[in-house]
Structure 1
Amino acid sequence: MSDGRILLYGATGYTGRLIAQRAKAQGLDMLLAGRSNEAVAAVATPLGLPYLAVGLDDPAKLDEALAGIRVVLHVAGPFSATSKPMVEACLRKGVHYLDITGEIEVFEACAARDAAARTAGVMLMPGVGFDVVPSDCMALHVKNRLPSATTLTLAMNGLSNMSRGTAKTSVEALGKGTAIRKGGRIVEIDEIPRKTLDFGAGPEPVIGISWGDVATAYHSTSIPDIEVFFRETPEMARMMGMPKFLRKLLGSRPGQAVLKRAINLMPAGPGEDIRNTARATVLAKARDSTGALVRSRLETPEPYALTVETALLIVGRVLAGDAPIGYQTPAKAYGADLILEVPGTRRDELNA
């Protein structure tokens, strides 16, 4: 990697701590940051890394914090609340912006700032973790296999052990419908799509979800119709099987407060043994108007372990000067084979 200082904002969270530890091991010049001086110091001091406390609600101090920074890696969720002030600071200060969101609204908000990013000479790339590097690369891969594709289906298996941050973001969608892309536009449907897909061990039930690829895969591939599914877990089945009125209630502000208090009692995230041994799978299927079909499968390390790898892989590209300006997706900027640079990944074609 070339020289350049990285600001890791949200270093006190589950994923932030993992990234900070790996950055230290790689010898990266990383400044840890977050809202609480005490909390950031507790992460930074044992690692011997510099740190500072700065709130996202203070633009002047945020601008000061970005002095001398080459790239921000923003890992403080929920990104629907935290991304905008950091993006705007990066645009003001000419700093590249990366985050690990999976929220459709955040991707689209960053895409809307494409012109501003080009004027500032910076790259805006949300979604440099499990959300959405592997699936974005697979979307472009099947598009390359079938350039005439008009529909794209993505499905994932392996995110059953969520961090608190991921869980909180997930429950925010309880009162909403399912987002899909139809005719190039993102639309919300009331029903929850269900089907069966084979991840490699026989057909399994999957549930449609509002995942970031509904936004990003279109920017990467121009495929107009996109749906995303997750392998159904008992917890997901119970949540999605709730009566609509109950989901609406839990999606309200009081309902969200109750759910998020409960989430705070969960473990911070999967333990080291799970991160070291668990695997994830991404299926991608593309079809064109003639019925031609291609299917591919990707196997990866556990999602949080993968997030550390992909986030720092892309940080390395930026530090090396490989940061196309404007709004970018991982596959659009770095190609469908980017994910194969991560140790422990394997891609297979499921049809010729």
Structure 2
Amino acid sequence: MDDLLIYGSYGYTGRLIAREAVSRGGAPVVAGRDAERVAALADDLGVEGRAFDLESDVTAHLDGFAAVCNCAGPFVDTCDPLVEACLETGTDYLDVTGEVAVFERLARLGGRAERADVTLLPGVGFDVVPSDCLATYLHERLPSADDLAVGIANWGSLSRGTLVTTVRNLGSGGVVRRNGRLIRVPTAYDTRTFDFGRGPTTTVTVPLGDVVTAAHSTGVEHVAVYVDLPNPVIRAMKAGRSLESLLGSWPIRQGLERVVETAVDGPDAAERERGEAVVQVEVTDGDRTERARLWTPNTYALTADAAVSSAKRVLEGDAPDGYQTPSTAFGHEFVLDLEGVERELLPSPTQV
């Protein structure tokens, strides 16, 4: 992985990915806009570091690299200059986004990427590797499925970058896919009961990337993503809809971002080591339903493993050109190659 550049490498997730790449014998170049932080990380890992911002001539900085892994969020702010440079230089692009707008934007560039012999592979972290692979696995079992629901439990603590992205999206509501189209819906638009292995659990809709990627991977026209949150939190989300215009205002968001930047980093090593997340997907055609569950390590531990494994396979030429999801790039069994991941096919419920 000597011809891999990791941008945003000194952020919480970027550090994990860079360390994972080096632990596997790679020597990626670590990069970002802060020269001091880049140099400190490069010295710590014994690799080359490059400092540049995305307002500069990014193409000049990608010369000689076969792939870039973007870890600098919010990705809606960073993906465009990096992707444009990748398309100009023939460099493959990966990132660890979970942002709906980024998946949608890059999907529209699929044809251009194919003509440039470039792979565009966003979402090589916890969102969306497990859910995308599970969705494709189930769709192969039930090709007639037209409705897909993703449920996630035990997400764990969030990193600074994830929280900043969340703050940026305050006031924008949620997103689901209906009849093949992305539809804006209110926050906490819908609730659904999943059994993640410990009894029925109430979950609530959240705007995650599967509403784009699952549709691309399977062709299913109805997609929604749900997360396990405490009932009081769900009630508060619904009650807070009337405040969304206030929360989404620039002064409020700016203040919250400052708090996050100074007070949050991410889960420590102990939490990453002991954490366990659960992803469950259900598909139905109205007559039959197929369900399966993945048990995974902590979300950030899985992200580091999945991102480096994805980069390695892209560098080896395993991924097709154009816009890809993890399962269209590597197949739905890819997630089972990651450490600590187990898949369980669940009994199909009796249809009434």
What TM-score, normalized to structure 1? 0.95
Question: Deviation per CA, 1:69-117, whole angstroms, max 9, x where unpaired?
Answer: 0100000000011111000000000000000000011001101111110
- Aligned partner letter, 2:43: T
Change in CA separation of 1:238 and 1:34 when aligned onto 2, cut-off 3 Å: farther
CA contact (8 A) 2:170 2:253 kept: no
Return the match for 2:81 from 58, 79, 85.
85
**RMSD, aligned α-carbons:** 1.4
Q: Residue 157 of structure 2: which of 155, 158, 161 is its match? A: 161
Q: Give distance in 2, aligned partners of 1:286 and 1:46.
A: 46
- Residue number in structure 1 paired with 2:101: 105
* AA matched with 2:37: A
1:320 aligns with 2:324: no
Mean CA deviation greater in 219-228 or 316-325: 316-325
- 2:14 aligned with 1:16: yes
Task: Establish whether residue 184 from structure 1 lines up as the match of residue 180 from structure 2.
Answer: yes
CA distance in 2, matches of 1:78, 1:234: 28
Alpha-carbon deviation of 1:196?
2.1
| Residues 125 and 327 in structure 1, CA contact (< 8 A), matched pair in contact too | yes
SS in 2 for 1:313: helix
Cross-structure match for 1:138: 134
Question: What is the deviation of 1:160?
Answer: 2.8
**How far apart are residue 234 of structure 1 and its match?**
6.9
Q: Deviations over 1:178-232 (max 9, x none)?
A: 2000011101122621122111101112110111000100000000000100001
Alpha carbons of 1:237 and 1:316: their partners in 2 closer, same or farther (altered >3 Å)? same
Q: 2:24 aligns with which of 20, 23, 26?
A: 26
Q: Secondary structure at the match of 1:20?
A: helix
Distance 1:99 1:247 in 2: 29
Aligned residues: 347
User: Does the aligned pair in 1 maintain the 2:148–2:220 contact within 8 Å?
Assistant: yes
Q: Is the Cα contact below 8 Å between 1:4 and 1:319 reproduced in 2?
A: no
In structure 1, runs of 5+ residues without a counterpart are: none
2:262 match: secondary structure:
coil
Which moves more between the two structures, 20-29 or 270-279? 20-29
Q: CA separation in 2, counterparts of 1:199 and 1:283?
A: 7
Equivalence for 1:125 = 121
Give the CA deviation at 1:236.
4.5
1:303 equivalent in structure 2: 299
Which of 37, 44, 53 aligns to 1:55? It is 53
Conservation of the 8 A alpha-carbon contact between 1:41 and 1:51: yes
Structure 2 alignment gaps of length 5 or more: none
- Which deviates the most, 19-28 or 306-315? 19-28
Change in 2 beyond 3 A, CA 1:139/1:228:
same
In 1, are the aligned partners of 2:186 and 2:241 still within 8 Å (CA)?
Answer: no
Aligned residue among 37, 40, 44 for 2:38: 40
1:203 aligns with 2:176: no
Cα 1:95–1:247, aligned 2, differ >3 Å: closer, same or farther? same
Alignment CA distance shift 1:221-1:209 (3 Å): same
Q: CA deviation at 1:39?
A: 1.1
CA–CA distance in structure 1, aligned partners of residues 146 and 193 of structure 2: 21
> Aligned partners of 1:248 and 1:238: how far apart in 2?
18
Match of 2:278 in 1: 281
Q: Which amino acid aligns with 2:11?
A: G
Counterpart CA distance in 2 for 1:42 and 1:73 is 19
Q: Residues 307 and 256 from structure 1, CA distance in 2 versus in 1: closer, same or farther, beyond 3 angstroms?
A: same
CA distance in structure 2 between the aligned counterparts of 1:238 and 1:162, rounded to whole angstroms? 21
Task: Report the Cα offset of residue 268 of structure 1.
Answer: 0.5
Code of the residue aligned with 2:7 in structure 1: it is Y
Measure how far apart 1:261 and its partner are. 1.5
Aligned: 1:76 with 2:61: no
Mapped to 2, the partners of 1:338 and 1:24 lie a distance apart of 21
1:209-288 correspondence runs (5 A): 209-233=206-230, 236-237=233-234, 240-288=237-285
Gap change, CA 1:123 and 1:251, over 3 Å in 2: same
Partner amino acid for 2:118?
V
TM-score of the superposed pair, with normalisation by structure 2: 0.95
